[in-house]
Homo-oligomer: A and B are copies of this chain.
């Protein structure tokens, strides 16, 4: 992947400080090591996996589902996958009932994923599904080593896998949390990890991505009060769930009390899909308050793209300029046109990420690029990138309410 910035930032000391902090935190933050994971145990597990299973269901929410979903939805249209992957994430009863209609228990395996092992949504759903389909061999559990969920799984005799306890949920997609469901569907997880490793090496070993990432992170951090909103504008429908993953990663990592001040800080992520959101959100970027940065993402090559037929339509001759154009070229011209329009405004910070094509290697690169960017910005705006204390208050209130009604 390539990343071209249309803005600059020249304080090299700030960049160097950020680089050193990230380099040094590798010894206790677990996600940096994931690209070098040994996938042999996963391949062994997948090889023995029941061939009659047609659907894999992830029961998990947030960091336990968004990453695998992002990659699965990106690759599904272009890969020949041999199993379907579904995600049961919500306590919404209407949604749960209609999701259940899509599966047949005989042909479904469930991956119950919860880092803490006590996520309310996940266990509300698991308890319900277990009551319909109690067979322990239909479930595999992924959790922190030593969690109550591990103890439970061992008691009922189901398989348990771990995610390293120093890998946070939103940084866990390249651990068993993401790799197991993706592998079971037939996705090339080794190519995925190679793509991540390529970005990791380029960053830590002074390749082309290091100066780009450091400049972008320093610019975002320095200007976080002026440009508090960071939009991704991705020109591929299949990147829709990548955007959702990005929203969690960015918002939950960077929206915090500062470590050494009394203040709340935060950068607000927004995921947009082109050209659709040209007809929705673009007006606000072009003419609204100048509080947004925009990162365009495009796919350089679309395989098998149909072309717009040559056919002049009476009264609609102004549209003849489209004739003969492959759709894959049109969508990239739309991306280029909007980018140029934004650049002409002069005060909207823009950059462009180009993925050569849709494959596991390049989505792995994109994932790791965004993880590194998040870590760098978090370091520079002085927050703890890896915790999420703000979600506890609502959980405590819910627990109290639940106790009150069960009395």
A positions within 8 Å CB-CB of B: 61-63, 66, 77-78, 89-98, 117-118, 120-121, 123-124, 127-128, 130-131, 148-149, 151-152, 155-156, 169, 228-229, 235-238, 244, 247-248, 251-252, 254-257, 264-268, 270, 273, 275-276, 278-292, 302, 304-306, 308-309, 311, 313-316, 318-328, 330-331, 333-334, 336-338, 340-341, 344, 358, 388-391, 393-395, 397-399, 401-403, 405-406
Contacts and interface: CB of A to CB of B under 8 A. Distances in A.
7 contacts: A148-B315, A148-B318, A256-B287, A267-B288, A282-B390, A283-B390, A286-B391
B155 A314 contact: yes
A124 B330 contact: yes
Instruction: Please classify the interface of chain A as helix (H, G, I), strand (E, B), loop, or mixed, using the class held by over half of its residues.
Output: helix
Nearest to A63: B279
Contact of A304 (B93, B121, B131): B93
Contact of A336 (B62, B229, B401): B401
A92 B237 contact: yes
A315 B151 contact: yes
Contact of A280 (B252, B257, B314, B341): B252
B321 A91 contact: no
A270 to B, nearest CB: 7
Task: Quickly give the copy total for this chain.
Answer: 2
Contacts of A313: 123, 127, 152
A318 B288 contact: no
A203 B291 CA distance: 33
Given A391-B279, A397-B340, A331 B91 contact: yes
B308 A288 contact: no
Contacts of A254: 284, 288
Contact of A334 (B66, B91, B267): B91
Given A92-B238, A127-B322, 19 more contacts: A61-B279, A77-B97, A92-B237, A94-B236, A94-B302, A123-B316, A124-B325, A152-B313, A228-B291, A247-B281, A266-B284, A268-B268, A268-B270, A268-B292, A282-B390, A283-B390, A322-B402, A325-B405, A333-B402
